[in-house]
A and B are shown apart, each in its own frame.
Chain A
């Protein structure tokens, strides 16, 4: 049987998703359904003096109007920050209360104040207009770099500072800098982004008063985590009385990792009114209240020798985490950011210092790449600047500092198990025809266009994550993954995974793995996920972890199935277990033609009695059935790496910038399904190029979100991109048996610096993201002026 691992199997789930036969949370409607509409703060910062719900309660179709007082009376807990970070001085991070419905103050536009529940959505919305909230408006803190010098948003959090974190050794860095020939400095803004999953967030909670059970349908990347938080922290229902189902979910990109106020409120309210409560965000609510991403202000320095050798690196960053500390908000700008900020290089000394600040903006949390795009943007624009200032080729300076021996102990945290960074960069230069760049540049010039080229070599730490390591760093949860492989009596298979697919193609990739391992045809394998009542607890999907951690759990569970199968087959074939080999779905007695298929073995496991000629095949002491569970906790992160080369063309008259050539060569270790991996790279690149050229979340000085619709928030579209040239190198990961490393975030990590380095190469000066036409045009004007002065 040919191996399915490595083949371009078409996605099993696409037929359903592309023909409108998917089942999303909004598609679920219960008998006696009610509809929720949230009253949200129109102000960025205000005290709530009074909430008058009397008119709304009398409005047509209204079932209930609930406020922060009600939720506090019922002792429902607030939303949590899941990762405890300590400041450099040893003190704990400071976290404000985050009630599911605000009762004393509101802290960003869109903050949840009250909920109206009615017989129809229209009636709920109309009544919401009648809820009178008396606000005392306060001056909003909006700008990341001014937050520490502004009024305190919370009276017990001085300087709006959540923590002031340090990773690395300041002394050693100072010594390194003292020895440097040159110090390269850069000031950067990592622009704030809004995730914009295609499907808006939604929740539908159905409380059954007779069983006291709540069934919550929700748009989650992580239903098990949602359940434990809503149960243990919000205290809505005990875990055994809360079933969380995340059915088909239309994209998440991080923004749907964690439970939000709306799920908690719908679950609690359903219990209160003893009817199902459904909420579906409209697009404006998504813009306002989904967790945003990035938003760093960074000053970084690189100490170099004249020959381009790196001596040391420092990184001073202010990270805006918005109005409240969301679940992974504190780890994203620290352990997911700091360690990767030294890039893919040997760096004798380094530190990352991050100050996380509160502002009156929506909470900021993990967004595709989470911390690693910010890290990579910092180091890779700095390295390119070093190359410019030293007059070196951007590829040469990188290769000079690549580690060549693995495992490679990276400066700040990680021990990188495998990689070949030179091979990746060389291949990118080949695939992207680096040699031909001058010719292409001249051709562009003949059309009046400026052509620029930019590099990015990255590594990232994903496959999240070894539980012992992350828990020692403050993580409130373990990050292993589970799988259950269940043979049905007739020989087909259901695989339960604790990870969750919301676009990644698990139904296909995971089936390929199980099919290969068990020798069962792909079409006989179903992947089941997203329901806490089906399969064991798991940690969901984010941090490019599903395959590396969850896929490995499947492998381990399959191996257990084969181990039991061998025992059973040996009994059936009347030989010793040691004589039985398993290959391509068959248990074969060595050097004979005696064999049993895995299907026959499964059938026998379920029917262990005597039936005609067939005698019980179960060895003594062996239980019937064929089902195995595995929990896999990785020994290390995985470390995808690669080199991307971008070419842009700038129209100097307008500043319009187009990506005209993009080459990505990635090392994801073993690739299970190249078709899906290429799709993941394409999507990541679209978001990465989007960040570099188009996307930008903008709040005005009063804290109003200006980019609250697609009329102003620039989502990139297909015609913004050229055909991508993809290439792969492969050094298998040693930390999991599949050798996989994770591919979901790479594009979003590598693209922003590759694009921006190309823009700067074209126009000669630094430009901040997003490189809008006006910014680039101004850079061109500046270049013209300095050129005419020189001439």
Chain B
């Protein structure tokens, strides 16, 4: 690991002021630290944001659940509010990695990183989330722009993620047996006026599988997907699963999710 300056601050303004083109915010460090150790990334300044109180915590209203960016996966998994309002979101958090990762990794870090096989991005898309940053609000469908890419500007800090409470929802994933990230994860959410089917792990970036979503908006049952065909074009292919397998699993896991809603 290359040497770096470590800053720890209690204040959003100070954190963003410290940010530069060669800095990174440090939340759980579950992605940042391994990549620094492996020499894949190096920064001049590391800005620890875990002590900024207002970034952590969970608030629920009748319509939405808002989760502070440094809230840990384990906190989301165990939260009474989340379990009551959006049980599928608590279940998703419970299924991330392992206990060590869940006790350190944060929701803000996860979506800022936008790993193509991370779980939370699918929740953001499926639950029409709004990403609150230090200077604007971004809707989820504009936030995830590509592999490990988001619409965050350099030094922009995620403060919270606001999820719309759906009528019903369920997340199902086939975990990579080694890392337990999603090989394919499908988050189905039925809202009053629409259905979202967010797919992660399958392509370079999380996306809304419109063919399944539209079939489900007509008839919210797994049998309505029998005739849907998912093409393998643009799907990831690696030592764990081929594009063809992933394409098939998108539908299989969408069905499982609908059945479990």
Chain A positions near chain B (C-beta within 8 angstroms): 122, 126, 284, 653-654, 656, 694, 696, 698, 706-707, 710-715, 717, 772-774, 777
> What would be 22 A-B contacts, judged by CB atoms less than 8 Å apart?
A122-B1, A126-B2, A284-B38, A653-B252, A653-B256, A654-B174, A654-B252, A654-B253, A694-B177, A694-B178, A710-B179, A711-B179, A712-B178, A712-B179, A712-B239, A714-B177, A715-B178, A772-B240, A773-B177, A773-B183, A773-B241, A777-B245
Taking CB atoms, residues of chain A closer than 8 Å to B253 are 654
Alpha-carbon distance between A774 and B239 when the two chains are bound, in angstroms? 10
B126 interface residue, CB < 8 Å from A? no
Contact with A along B230-249 (1 / 0, CB 8 A): 00000000011110010011
Given contacts A654-B253, A707-B178, 18 further A-B contacts (CB under 8 A): A126-B2, A653-B256, A654-B174, A654-B252, A694-B178, A710-B178, A711-B176, A711-B178, A711-B181, A712-B240, A713-B178, A714-B177, A715-B178, A717-B98, A772-B240, A773-B245, A774-B241, A777-B248
Interface residues in B162-177 by Cβ distance below 8 A to A read 174, 176-177
With A284-B38, A654-B252, A715-B178 known as contacts, the answer to whether A774 contacts B242 (CB < 8 A) is yes
Taking CB atoms, residues of chain B closer than 8 Å to A284 are 38
Taking CB atoms, residues of chain A closer than 8 Å to B256 are 653
Shortest 5 CB-CB distances between A and B: which pairs? A714-B178, A711-B179, A774-B245, A714-B177, A653-B252
Residue of A nearest to B180 (CB): A717
Taking CB atoms, residues of chain A closer than 8 Å to B248 are 777
Taking CB atoms, residues of chain A closer than 8 Å to B241 are 772-774
In the assembled complex, the CB of B219 is this many whole angstroms from the nearest CB of chain A, namely: 20
Alpha-carbon distance between A777 and B248 when the two chains are bound, in angstroms? 10
Alpha-carbon distance between A654 and B254 when the two chains are bound, in angstroms? 12
Chain B positions near chain A (C-beta within 8 angstroms): 1-3, 38, 98, 174, 176-179, 181, 183, 239-242, 245, 248-249, 252-253, 256
Alpha-carbon distance between A694 and B180 when the two chains are bound, in angstroms? 13
Residue of B nearest to A720 (CB): B177
**Are B1 and A706 neighbours in the complex by a CB distance under 8 Å?**
no
**Which one, B176, B239, B242, contacts A706 given CB within 8 A?**
B239
Residue of B nearest to A770 (CB): B177
**Are B177 and A772 neighbours in the complex by a CB distance under 8 Å?**
yes
Residue of A nearest to B244 (CB): A774
**Are B174 and A707 neighbours in the complex by a CB distance under 8 Å?**
no
Alpha-carbon distance between A312 and B241 when the two chains are bound, in angstroms? 39
**Are B242 and A698 neighbours in the complex by a CB distance under 8 Å?**
no
Alpha-carbon distance between A710 and B180 when the two chains are bound, in angstroms? 10
Alpha-carbon distance between A396 and B245 when the two chains are bound, in angstroms? 38
Taking CB atoms, residues of chain A closer than 8 Å to B183 are 773
In the assembled complex, the CB of B106 is this many whole angstroms from the nearest CB of chain A, namely: 19
How many contacts A-B (CB < 8 Å)? 47
Alpha-carbon distance between A197 and B241 when the two chains are bound, in angstroms? 27
Taking CB atoms, residues of chain B closer than 8 Å to A712 are 178-179, 239-240
Residue of A nearest to B253 (CB): A654
Alpha-carbon distance between A698 and B240 when the two chains are bound, in angstroms? 11
Taking CB atoms, residues of chain B closer than 8 Å to A714 are 177-178
Taking CB atoms, residues of chain B closer than 8 Å to A772 are 177, 240-241
Alpha-carbon distance between A112 and B179 when the two chains are bound, in angstroms? 29
Taking CB atoms, residues of chain B closer than 8 Å to A706 are 239
Alpha-carbon distance between A715 and B98 when the two chains are bound, in angstroms? 13
**Are B249 and A654 neighbours in the complex by a CB distance under 8 Å?**
yes
Taking CB atoms, residues of chain A closer than 8 Å to B2 are 126
Name the residue among A698, A772, A773 with the largest chain B CB count within 10 angstroms: A773
In the assembled complex, the CB of A363 is this many whole angstroms from the nearest CB of chain B, namely: 22
Alpha-carbon distance between A777 and B3 when the two chains are bound, in angstroms? 47
Taking CB atoms, residues of chain A closer than 8 Å to B176 are 711
Residue of B nearest to A713 (CB): B178
**Are B178 and A773 neighbours in the complex by a CB distance under 8 Å?**
no
**Are A773 and B174 neighbours in the complex by a CB distance under 8 Å?**
yes
Alpha-carbon distance between A600 and B38 when the two chains are bound, in angstroms? 61
Taking CB atoms, residues of chain B closer than 8 Å to A696 are 239
**Are A707 and B239 neighbours in the complex by a CB distance under 8 Å?**
yes
In the assembled complex, the CB of A706 is this many whole angstroms from the nearest CB of chain B, namely: 6
Name the residue among A126, A711, A715, A774 with the largest chain B CB count within 10 angstroms: A774
Alpha-carbon distance between A711 and B1 when the two chains are bound, in angstroms? 20
Taking CB atoms, residues of chain B closer than 8 Å to A122 are 1, 3
Alpha-carbon distance between A706 and B237 when the two chains are bound, in angstroms? 13
Alpha-carbon distance between A772 and B256 when the two chains are bound, in angstroms? 20
Alpha-carbon distance between A712 and B117 when the two chains are bound, in angstroms? 13
In the assembled complex, the CB of A130 is this many whole angstroms from the nearest CB of chain B, namely: 14
Alpha-carbon distance between A122 and B249 when the two chains are bound, in angstroms? 45
Residue of A nearest to B177 (CB): A714
In the assembled complex, the CB of B100 is this many whole angstroms from the nearest CB of chain A, namely: 12
Residue of A nearest to B256 (CB): A653
Alpha-carbon distance between A11 and B3 when the two chains are bound, in angstroms? 43
Taking CB atoms, residues of chain A closer than 8 Å to B240 are 712, 772, 774
In the assembled complex, the CB of A768 is this many whole angstroms from the nearest CB of chain B, namely: 14
Alpha-carbon distance between A654 and B246 when the two chains are bound, in angstroms? 10
Alpha-carbon distance between A774 and B181 when the two chains are bound, in angstroms? 16
In the assembled complex, the CB of B206 is this many whole angstroms from the nearest CB of chain A, namely: 19
**Are B239 and A698 neighbours in the complex by a CB distance under 8 Å?**
yes
In the assembled complex, the CB of A138 is this many whole angstroms from the nearest CB of chain B, namely: 25
Alpha-carbon distance between A707 and B176 when the two chains are bound, in angstroms? 13
Name the residue among B38, B177, B183 with the largest chain A CB count within 10 angstroms: B177
In the assembled complex, the CB of A196 is this many whole angstroms from the nearest CB of chain B, namely: 12
Alpha-carbon distance between A217 and B239 when the two chains are bound, in angstroms? 38
Taking CB atoms, residues of chain A closer than 8 Å to B179 are 710-712
**Are A656 and B174 neighbours in the complex by a CB distance under 8 Å?**
yes
Alpha-carbon distance between A328 and B102 when the two chains are bound, in angstroms? 42
Taking CB atoms, residues of chain A closer than 8 Å to B178 are 694, 707, 710-715
Residue of A nearest to B245 (CB): A774
Alpha-carbon distance between A524 and B253 when the two chains are bound, in angstroms? 60
In the assembled complex, the CB of B243 is this many whole angstroms from the nearest CB of chain A, namely: 11
In the assembled complex, the CB of A38 is this many whole angstroms from the nearest CB of chain B, namely: 15
Name the residue among A284, A710, A711, A717 with the largest chain B CB count within 10 angstroms: A711
Alpha-carbon distance between A656 and B177 when the two chains are bound, in angstroms? 10
In the assembled complex, the CB of A744 is this many whole angstroms from the nearest CB of chain B, namely: 26
Taking CB atoms, residues of chain B closer than 8 Å to A707 are 178, 239
Alpha-carbon distance between A306 and B240 when the two chains are bound, in angstroms? 41
Alpha-carbon distance between A654 and B252 when the two chains are bound, in angstroms? 7
In the assembled complex, the CB of A770 is this many whole angstroms from the nearest CB of chain B, namely: 9
Taking CB atoms, residues of chain A closer than 8 Å to B242 are 774
Taking CB atoms, residues of chain A closer than 8 Å to B245 are 773-774, 777
Residue of A nearest to B2 (CB): A126
In the assembled complex, the CB of B246 is this many whole angstroms from the nearest CB of chain A, namely: 9
Residue of B nearest to A700 (CB): B239
Alpha-carbon distance between A711 and B176 when the two chains are bound, in angstroms? 9
Alpha-carbon distance between A712 and B177 when the two chains are bound, in angstroms? 8
Alpha-carbon distance between A777 and B240 when the two chains are bound, in angstroms? 13
Residue of A nearest to B241 (CB): A774
Alpha-carbon distance between A486 and B242 when the two chains are bound, in angstroms? 62
Taking CB atoms, residues of chain B closer than 8 Å to A653 are 252, 256
Alpha-carbon distance between A287 and B38 when the two chains are bound, in angstroms? 14
Taking CB atoms, residues of chain A closer than 8 Å to B174 are 654, 656, 773
Residue of B nearest to A777 (CB): B245
Alpha-carbon distance between A711 and B249 when the two chains are bound, in angstroms? 21
Residue of B nearest to A719 (CB): B98
In the assembled complex, the CB of B176 is this many whole angstroms from the nearest CB of chain A, namely: 8
Residue of A nearest to B246 (CB): A774
Alpha-carbon distance between A277 and B175 when the two chains are bound, in angstroms? 42
In the assembled complex, the CB of B77 is this many whole angstroms from the nearest CB of chain A, namely: 16
Taking CB atoms, residues of chain A closer than 8 Å to B38 are 284
Residue of A nearest to B242 (CB): A774
Taking CB atoms, residues of chain B closer than 8 Å to A715 are 178
In the assembled complex, the CB of B108 is this many whole angstroms from the nearest CB of chain A, namely: 22
Alpha-carbon distance between A785 and B235 when the two chains are bound, in angstroms? 25
In the assembled complex, the CB of A782 is this many whole angstroms from the nearest CB of chain B, namely: 14
Taking CB atoms, residues of chain B closer than 8 Å to A773 are 174, 177, 183, 241, 245
In the assembled complex, the CB of B174 is this many whole angstroms from the nearest CB of chain A, namely: 6
Residue of A nearest to B3 (CB): A122
Taking CB atoms, residues of chain B closer than 8 Å to A777 are 245, 248
Alpha-carbon distance between A590 and B174 when the two chains are bound, in angstroms? 73
